[in-house]
């Protein structure tokens, strides 16, 4: 059966890694939530990428490049886990017909965990530039405790039970959580106000933990 290519997705024959049976699976090139609102939650719970073999029931998750657009969040994500170049895709969105997206955030993301965290940050109504900087500050705070915690991982989460930062010190096998409480929100607002124009443009593609470390180092006068 030939592959039928649509404007935003196509079907591919996939071979089950467990039993070898081939079956069809829908691959999404472009996920537009305005057009397909039912995909919003399927991206966040990863069910859109779950492949279940119809013969043996084996489940696996596929990781592939796609474009994600959600207008109510003013958000465009280039998800490219394979390390591909997104230049052509980015240039295609600069055409006149996409003028309405000029004020959108554009982000390039390479890892699934980072994709889910970015979506959580934007769903909660926060600026990922400020959140990444807060994670650097939390890392320093934890390391300065009487019993230091050297958090190798800090992740923002958003749920009905509340927003929080989860951290893990893999060397000591320690983990914990800091709720995004009123005090934390005040810190966020102060950073958002005080950093002002020092922050990079909102369409800067890569806002990562590494970027945040460099930003704090280069702007230490703003954190005194």
CB neighbourhood size of 208 (10 A): 17
Whole-number Cα distances in Å, 34 to 11, 70, 109, 187: 22, 7, 21, 33
Percent of the chain past pLDDT 90, that is, above it, reads 79
**What pLDDT score was predicted for residue 6?**
53
**What pLDDT score was predicted for residue 2?**
42
| Owning domain of residue 149 | 128-223
Residue 67: band (very low, low, confident or very high) from pLDDT cuts 50, 70, 90: very high
**What pLDDT score was predicted for residue 86?**
87
Question: What total number of domains does the chain contain?
Answer: 2
Domain co-membership, 137 together with 208: yes
Percent of the chain past pLDDT 70, that is, above it, reads 96
Average pLDDT of every residue of the chain: 92
Q: Is residue 188 in a domain?
A: yes
Report CA torsion sign: 178, 212, 193, 143: positive
pLDDT of 4 > 50? The answer is: no
pLDDT of 42 > 70? The answer is: yes
Average of per-residue pLDDT across 52-69: 94
**What pLDDT score was predicted for residue 210?**
95
Choose one of 71, 98, 123: the last residue of a domain: 123
Choose one of 104, 123, 142: the last residue of a domain: 123
**What pLDDT score was predicted for residue 219?**
93
Q: Are 178 and 99 in contact (CB under 8 A)?
A: no
**What pLDDT score was predicted for residue 3?**
47
Domain co-membership, 118 together with 47: yes
Q: Is residue 132 in a domain?
A: yes
pLDDT of 18 > 90? The answer is: yes
Domain co-membership, 118 together with 20: yes
Choose one of 123, 153, 183: the last residue of a domain: 123
Q: Quick check: helix, strand or coil at residue 202?
A: coil
Domain co-membership, 97 together with 142: no
Tell me the pLDDT tens digit for each residue of 188-206.
999 999 998 899 998 889 9
Domain co-membership, 119 together with 22: yes
Tell me the pLDDT tens digit for each residue of 142-162.
999 989 999 999 999 999 999
Domain co-membership, 15 together with 118: yes
Domain co-membership, 49 together with 92: yes
**What pLDDT score was predicted for residue 212?**
97
**What pLDDT score was predicted for residue 1?**
38
Domain co-membership, 80 together with 137: no
Please state the three-class secondary structure of 43-80 as a single string. HHCCHHHEEECCCCCCEEECCCCEEEEEHHHCEEEEEC
Interaxial angle between packed helices 128-143 and 182-195, expressed in degrees from 0 to 180 and rounded to the nearest 10: 120
Q: Identify which of 31, 104, 42 has the alpha carbon closest to the alpha carbon of residue 66.
A: 31
**What pLDDT score was predicted for residue 68?**
96
> What distance lies between CA 194 and its chain's CA centroid?
25
Q: Is residue 3 in a domain?
A: no
Domain co-membership, 13 together with 49: yes
Domain co-membership, 63 together with 139: no
DSSP-derived secondary structure letter, 149? -
């Amino acid at each position: 059966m030939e592959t039928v290519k649509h404007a935003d997705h196509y079907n591919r024959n996939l071979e089950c890694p467990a039993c070898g049976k081939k079956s069809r699976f829908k691959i999404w090139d472009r996920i537009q939530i305005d057009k397909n609102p039912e995909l919003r939650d399927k991206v966040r719970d990863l069910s859109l990428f779950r492949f279940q073999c119809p013969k043996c029931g084996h489940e696996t998750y596929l990781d592939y490049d796609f474009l994600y657009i959600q207008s109510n969040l003013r958000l465009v994500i280039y998800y490219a886990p394979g390390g591909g170049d997104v230049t052509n895709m980015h240039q295609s969105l600069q055409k006149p017909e996409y003028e309405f997206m000029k004020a959108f955030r554009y982000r390039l993301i390479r890892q699934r965990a980072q994709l889910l965290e970015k979506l959580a940050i934007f769903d909660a109504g926060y600026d990922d530039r400020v959140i990444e900087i807060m994670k650097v500050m939390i890392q320093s705070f934890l390391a300065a405790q009487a019993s230091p915690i050297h958090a190798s991982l800090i992740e923002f989460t958003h749920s009905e039970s509340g927003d929080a930062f989860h951290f893990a010190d893999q060397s000591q096998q320690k983990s914990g959580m800091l709720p995004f409480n009123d005090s934390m929100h005040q810190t966020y607002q102060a950073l958002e106000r005080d950093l002002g124009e020092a922050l990079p443009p909102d369409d800067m593609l890569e806002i990562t933990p590494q970027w945040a470390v460099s930003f704090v180092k280069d702007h230490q006068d703003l954190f005194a």
